[in-house]
Chain A
Amino acid sequence: MCTGRVDPAHILRAFSNGVDGVFIGGCRLGECNYITQGNYHALNLVLLFRKILEHIGVNPERLRIDFMSGSEGNVYVEVVNNFINKVKELGPLGKSEGIDEELLKLKMQALTQLVPYLRVMGSERLRVKLGSARQEYEDYYASEGLDKLFRELIADKLSISEIMLLLRERPLSSGEMSETLGLTPSEISRYLHTSARHGLVRYVDNRWRLALA
């Protein structure tokens, strides 16, 4: 098994279970034990996931990937100690970011539903040329172009997924949803408009609230 086997579902499960940090250790870049260079794929996944964490209000520093060889025990110790100190400094997940526990749960659930989608986006749309230097990956994920793509491809999907989850519990007005999810009413109505057009939601209570179709 290779770091390339690490799936968004695995990372999410750990965070959903309430861990405060996830660390992934892989073979040195360019020194793949297989020839698949799965560690580059893992790097890509982690950078994408950090973007997502940031988007849902969780400190992206809670997820880290680093690369070392089997003989570099000292490097491993340094990296892990460093990470643990960082996570301790950040404090408990959600609380220290000021996210309500229920809302965080909802967001994690929404993300879990998007896992298949994340797999496709991570390998098809949001990626750097395989084998580029780590810095190029980092630069790409810090670029404006990526931000735009991220908004279009991931952020919108995620918000819709969150709305659907909220509506699954009970019908809500867009104001109520906007308050819970921290989105502006105009964003909410944009998503709802699309969802209504696709027949996913419908208006109830004299068009005052919305429910799942």
Chain B
Amino acid sequence: MEGEAGDFTVSLVKRPKYVIEDKCTGCGTCTEYCPIQYPDQFNQEISKNKAIHIYYSQAIPLVAYIDDSCRYLKDKTCTACQGVCQNDAIDFSQKPEKIEIKVGAIILSPGLEPFDPKVKKEYRYGEFENVITSMDYERLLSSTGPYEGEVLRASDKKHPHKIAWIQCVGSRQVTEGGNSYCSAVCCTYSQKQVILTKDHDPEAECVLFHNDIRSYGKDFERYYERTENLPGVRFIRSYVTIVREDPETKNVTIRYSTPDEGVKEEEFEMVVLSIGLNPPADAQGIAEKYGIELTSHQFCKVNPGNPIETNNSGIFISGAFQGPVDIPESVFSASGAGSQCGELLDYRRGNLSKERIYPSEIDLSHEEPKIGVFVCHCGANIGRIVNVPEVVEYVLTLPNVVHAQDAIFACATNSAKQITDTIKEKGLNRVVVAACSPRTLEPLFRDTLREAGINQYYYQMANIREHNSWVHSKEPKEATEKAKDIIRMSVARASHLKPLQEFDLPVNKAALVVGGGIAGMTNALSIAKQGHEVYLLEKDSELGGMARRIHTTLEGLDVQAYLDDLIRKVYKHPFIHVYTDASIQEATGYVGNFVTKVKSGYRVMEIKHGAVVIAIGADLYTPTEYLYGEDDRVMTHLELDEHIAEGDEKVTGAESIVMIQCVGCRQEDRDYCSRICCSESIKNALKLKEINPEMDIYILFRDIRTYGLKEDFYREAAGKDIRFIRYEEDVKPEVEPGESDEGRPVLKVTLPDYVLGKKLEIDADIVALAAAVLPSEETKEIAGLFKVTLSPDGFFKEAHVKLRPVEFGTDGVYLCGTAHYPKFISETVSQAYGAAGRVLTLLSRDTVVASGAICEVDENKCLSCGACIAACTYGAISFRMTEQGRRAYVNPVLCKGDGLCNTKCLTGAIQLKHFTDKGLLSEIDAVTATA
């Protein structure tokens, strides 16, 4: 890599696939004929693959490649694949290719490396056959895995019925070969594996040996409880030793201890090591190449105020290179990196894009259906099983079919061109291609219609590969008949297809950001820096939100200085309009075209905007327990932070402080973990120790959840003699005023000590409560205004907890910060950038396209009952006044075409276009005609 931000030159070496990507259709025939078997890398080398293969079934691009085990590449003795490939896609002459590309910004997403348990001999991985890693187990559980979803033991290929998981393998270890940090994802992924195991085999006995259970993520606490409550599942808090393997049964014995029973041994049929996350394999090499700094753990060194940027301008990172992170954090850091590139390169956005021009569309709606059918051989994939010529003959006898022919590969460039030519030549007005799944190629075939000037919705696909030849390879005769059935259905439906228009709606280029805390401000700035007007609303009279009360972070960020700087940037930016003392009175509109009525002070104004970002933050629980509010020596951790910052003698000079964790959460009525409190308490504890090393500090916890790299601070705290004492949910500590032995007035904190098995009494001058983070009071109101939904715990509910963590199901509405779920400042910043990235994806376009296959109301049939409105979670249907009175109306931009409303409509007034009752019933009739 050379150059600087805005103008990098990157040289890449592209290794040869020995397959021409443009020609390979991913049909898989070559893999079948390849004689070389070698361990399948994707399936953890548990099963075999071939020298030529597609990496895995969802690979993009879905094309084959040849690896080093190939016989031709070794000694030129085999060219089987070349012989069977009907599209001449194999090219052994390919050489490594040097490519030079010029880019303005670089995003490093090298991911992670799973921890290799072989470096720690005591786990016996590779030695005992039935000790496997969680990655191995993940593949075993998968239906595309080595045994097609059957969990089998390596030793005897039998189903294990008693399985143990060992947590923290390679994580939270300071011994040789281990990582000192917590890998952040293993507790929950192991629980997932337990649940899936029980799905596979309800009788299975699952035992999870763990340290703290760190279910700190959104909905993770419920997930933990669900797993723990499954029959036959035991969670045991214990360190373990893998003792021996039975030479006969190959079962593995584990030694562990429990407080009640002491040291025990137990035999398992399989042991899964919950391995942690290592930094990417060549982190050092990456760092040198891109001039970035690494931490001592070999992750990228990040700025806690912007965990996406590196020390080298123009180079950003996303995902697990930041340190161990779960999927949602990876996803929003990726969007965020996109947004930061946008800030840098916005001035040349869209310069490389080309618009495609199609011939204008001919109106064929008045014509009788004239259907052309193209039956694909897919090389040998279909042709070898299905008698294609016979099918073509048959298709010609079907009603409305005026043309039918076969094609070796219908998707090949020349065949696609031929479809276009045939449409014009024969005057076809409907096209059916009988080939593969519409998932990959439907867009390509729709294009052949557009190129011929006819509406793309006149296209219908018949899947005779996945649904037929692939699954009936041993029954060619029946498969040929089934191909006829499938095509007959498609032809029937094709006759009912209507031309549909996808139409464009203009997008208002401004954004509204609700909430002026760190999330809202960061988000607003990133959007504004990419050339969009932003209206930033804050309910208080000042910007800053909850962060105004926080002074430092565990990593040492000076929050107040950071906040001042951020506020100044927001006020200075010409595109950001800040409204304080603001409240929303009314919100209407939809993606690209919202109108929101805002009151700020005495002014009321109407803001038009294309996107909304909800960043209203969270509230803090006001404890009713532990004498909070009755005794001023009892305070929340946020108040403690404030007292420390003020240098309050009563706090900094205290002899003894007790911190109680999980106050107001992880309990029946608030069934979630507030995620940040363990680290907050440790932060305050370390700070206090720094000021006053003599102070006795006790942290009473249930599980310490210093996930990821924060684990190091937990270790530091324990090393500095801060005492951690565990309590159980059902026996909470008690706090009452009293006197110490020396007659000092103190708070007496009592709780059982599970290690020593007796009652503990601690004298405290201060009791700090880790009070829960609660959804903001305004959550419900804002959710109602913008028609978005809430999670069971009352936080906003994103569109998908893992894959779409900053969007809502409702288009054009985005989410970031603690309104989504409690999180740290650096996570908030990352998510705020992530939301900005998604907002830009919308606002940088001039229009939003509405699909043609959406619902429509026949106003003559509508009874105005509202059943469809109730069924639509997208809020796409509403009443509007027509000449006939009140009728349901579908907003075409919001409708996603799922069609649920159709089945709620008494009169059939609402119909999903392209999937109409007529069309679907004609398919049913066509397939049941012989029944």
> What residues make up the interface of A, taking CB atoms closer than 8 Å to B?
1-2, 4-10, 13-14, 17-20, 34-38, 41, 45, 71-75, 77, 116, 119-120, 122-124
Q: How far is the CB of B706 from chain A (nearest CB, A)?
A: 31
A2 near B898 with CB under 8 A, answer: yes
> Which residue of B898, B904, B917, B931 contacts A119 across the interface (Cβ within 8 Å)?
B904
Looking at B58, B143, B148, B925, which has the most chain A CB atoms within 10 Å of its CB? B143
Q: Does B5 contact A (CB under 8 A)?
A: no
> Which residue of B149, B471, B872, B874 contacts A75 across the interface (Cβ within 8 Å)?
B149
Q: How far is the CB of A30 from chain B (nearest CB, A)?
A: 11
A5 near B799 with CB under 8 A, answer: no
Q: A17-B929, A75-B149, A120-B906 are contacts. A36–B920 as well, Cβ < 8 Å?
A: no
> What residues make up the interface of B, taking CB atoms closer than 8 Å to A?
57-58, 142-144, 148-149, 471, 799, 809, 853, 867, 871-874, 896-900, 902-908, 912, 915, 917, 920-921, 924-925, 928-929, 931
Q: How far is the CB of B534 from chain A (nearest CB, A)?
A: 27
B872 near A36 with CB under 8 A, answer: yes
Looking at B873, B900, B921, which has the most chain A CB atoms within 10 Å of its CB? B900
Q: A1-B912, A35-B799 are contacts. A13–B898 as well, Cβ < 8 Å?
A: no
Which A residues lie within 8 Å of B799 (CB)? 35
Which B residues lie within 8 Å of A73 (CB)? 143
Q: How far is the CB of A127 from chain B (nearest CB, A)?
A: 11
B900 near A36 with CB under 8 A, answer: yes
Report the bound CA distance from A8 to B928 in whole Å. 17
Which B residues lie within 8 Å of A77 (CB)? 471
Q: A17-B929, A73-B143 are contacts. A2–B867 as well, Cβ < 8 Å?
A: no
Which A residues lie within 8 Å of B867 (CB)? 119-120, 123-124
> Which residue of A1, A13, A71 contacts B143 across the interface (Cβ within 8 Å)?
A71
Nearest CB in chain A to that of B915: its residue: A1
B873 near A1 with CB under 8 A, answer: no
Report the bound CA distance from A35 to B896 in whole Å. 10
Which B residues lie within 8 Å of A35 (CB)? 799, 809, 873-874
Q: A5-B899, A34-B898, A36-B898 are contacts. A123–B904 as well, Cβ < 8 Å?
A: yes
18 more A-B residue pairs beyond the given contacts A10-B921, A116-B906, A120-B904, with a C-beta to C-beta distance below 8 A: A1-B899, A2-B898, A4-B899, A4-B900, A7-B917, A9-B921, A13-B924, A14-B928, A17-B924, A19-B928, A35-B799, A35-B873, A38-B898, A41-B900, A72-B149, A119-B906, A120-B906, A122-B903
A116 near B912 with CB under 8 A, answer: no
Which A residues lie within 8 Å of B871 (CB)? 36, 41, 123
Nearest CB in chain A to that of B471: its residue: A77
Could you give 30 example pairs across A and B, Cβ below 8 Å? Answer: A1-B899, A1-B912, A4-B899, A4-B903, A5-B902, A6-B903, A9-B917, A9-B921, A10-B924, A14-B928, A17-B928, A20-B931, A34-B874, A34-B900, A36-B871, A36-B873, A37-B873, A38-B899, A41-B903, A71-B57, A71-B58, A71-B142, A71-B143, A72-B149, A73-B143, A75-B149, A119-B906, A120-B867, A123-B904, A124-B867
Q: How far is the CB of A17 from chain B (nearest CB, A)?
A: 4
Q: How far is the CB of A40 from chain B (nearest CB, A)?
A: 10
Nearest CB in chain A to that of B867: its residue: A123
B898 near A5 with CB under 8 A, answer: yes
Looking at A5, A17, A72, which has the most chain B CB atoms within 10 Å of its CB? A5
Which A residues lie within 8 Å of B908 (CB)? 116
Report the bound CA distance from A5 to B853 in whole Å. 13
B143 near A2 with CB under 8 A, answer: no
Looking at A36, A71, A123, which has the most chain B CB atoms within 10 Å of its CB? A36
Report the bound CA distance from A71 to B144 in whole Å. 7
B899 near A75 with CB under 8 A, answer: no
Nearest CB in chain B to that of A18: its residue: B931
B924 near A7 with CB under 8 A, answer: no
Looking at B471, B871, B898, which has the most chain A CB atoms within 10 Å of its CB? B898
Q: How far is the CB of A154 from chain B (nearest CB, A)?
A: 16
Nearest CB in chain B to that of A120: its residue: B906
A36 near B929 with CB under 8 A, answer: no
Give the 5 A-B residue pairs with the shortest CB-CB distance, closest first: A5-B899, A4-B900, A17-B928, A2-B898, A35-B809
Report the bound CA distance from A9 to B905 in whole Å. 12
Which B residues lie within 8 Å of A38 (CB)? 898-900
B898 near A4 with CB under 8 A, answer: yes
Which A residues lie within 8 Å of B57 (CB)? 71
B902 near A7 with CB under 8 A, answer: yes
A34 near B924 with CB under 8 A, answer: no
Q: How far is the CB of B875 from chain A (nearest CB, A)?
A: 11
Nearest CB in chain A to that of B900: its residue: A4
Q: How far is the CB of B892 from chain A (nearest CB, A)?
A: 16
Which B residues lie within 8 Å of A5 (CB)? 898-900, 902-903, 912, 915
> Which residue of A1, A8, A20 contacts B898 across the interface (Cβ within 8 Å)?
A1
Which A residues lie within 8 Å of B144 (CB)? 71
Which B residues lie within 8 Å of A7 (CB)? 902-903, 917
A116 near B907 with CB under 8 A, answer: yes
Which A residues lie within 8 Å of B904 (CB)? 119-120, 123
A2 near B900 with CB under 8 A, answer: yes
Nearest CB in chain A to that of B928: its residue: A17
Report the bound CA distance from A87 to B143 in whole Å. 26
Q: How far is the CB of B530 from chain A (nearest CB, A)?
A: 28
Report the bound CA distance from A123 to B901 in whole Å. 10
Nearest CB in chain B to that of A32: its residue: B898
Which B residues lie within 8 Å of A45 (CB)? 903
Q: How far is the CB of A74 from chain B (nearest CB, A)?
A: 5
Which B residues lie within 8 Å of A1 (CB)? 853, 897-899, 912, 915
A13 near B907 with CB under 8 A, answer: no
Report the bound CA distance from A179 to B921 in whole Å. 33
Q: How far is the CB of B201 from chain A (nearest CB, A)?
A: 14
Which B residues lie within 8 Å of A18 (CB)? 928, 931
Q: How far is the CB of A20 from chain B (nearest CB, A)?
A: 8
Nearest CB in chain A to that of B865: its residue: A120
Q: How far is the CB of A147 from chain B (nearest CB, A)?
A: 24
Q: How far is the CB of B269 from chain A (nearest CB, A)?
A: 22
Which B residues lie within 8 Å of A6 (CB)? 903
Nearest CB in chain B to that of A124: its residue: B867
Which A residues lie within 8 Å of B917 (CB)? 7, 9-10
B149 near A74 with CB under 8 A, answer: yes
Report the bound CA distance from A17 to B928 in whole Å. 6
Which B residues lie within 8 Å of A119 (CB)? 867, 903-906
Nearest CB in chain B to that of A78: its residue: B149
> Which residue of B58, B896, B902 contacts A34 across the interface (Cβ within 8 Å)?
B896
A17 near B148 with CB under 8 A, answer: no
Report the bound CA distance from A20 to B898 in whole Å. 28
Which B residues lie within 8 Å of A71 (CB)? 57-58, 142-144
Q: How far is the CB of A35 from chain B (nearest CB, A)?
A: 4
Which A residues lie within 8 Å of B931 (CB)? 17-20
Report the bound CA distance from A13 to B871 in whole Å. 24
Q: How far is the CB of A25 from chain B (nearest CB, A)?
A: 12
A14 near B148 with CB under 8 A, answer: no
Which A residues lie within 8 Å of B906 (CB)? 116, 119-120
Report the bound CA distance from A9 to B899 in whole Å. 14
Q: How far is the CB of A18 from chain B (nearest CB, A)?
A: 5
Q: How far is the CB of B218 from chain A (nearest CB, A)?
A: 15
Report the bound CA distance from A72 to B200 in whole Å. 13
Report the bound CA distance from A74 to B141 in whole Å. 12
Q: A71-B57, A71-B142, A116-B906 are contacts. A2–B899 as well, Cβ < 8 Å?
A: yes
Report the bound CA distance from A145 to B5 in whole Å. 70
Q: How far is the CB of A137 from chain B (nearest CB, A)?
A: 17
Report the bound CA distance from A5 to B923 in whole Å. 15
Which A residues lie within 8 Å of B898 (CB)? 1-2, 4-5, 34, 36, 38
Which A residues lie within 8 Å of B929 (CB)? 17
Report the bound CA distance from A97 to B861 in whole Å. 39
Q: How far is the CB of A99 from chain B (nearest CB, A)?
A: 17
Which B residues lie within 8 Å of A116 (CB)? 906-908
Report the bound CA distance from A165 to B503 in whole Å. 46
Report the bound CA distance from A123 to B809 in whole Å. 22
Nearest CB in chain A to that of B906: its residue: A116
Report the bound CA distance from A105 to B372 in whole Å. 36
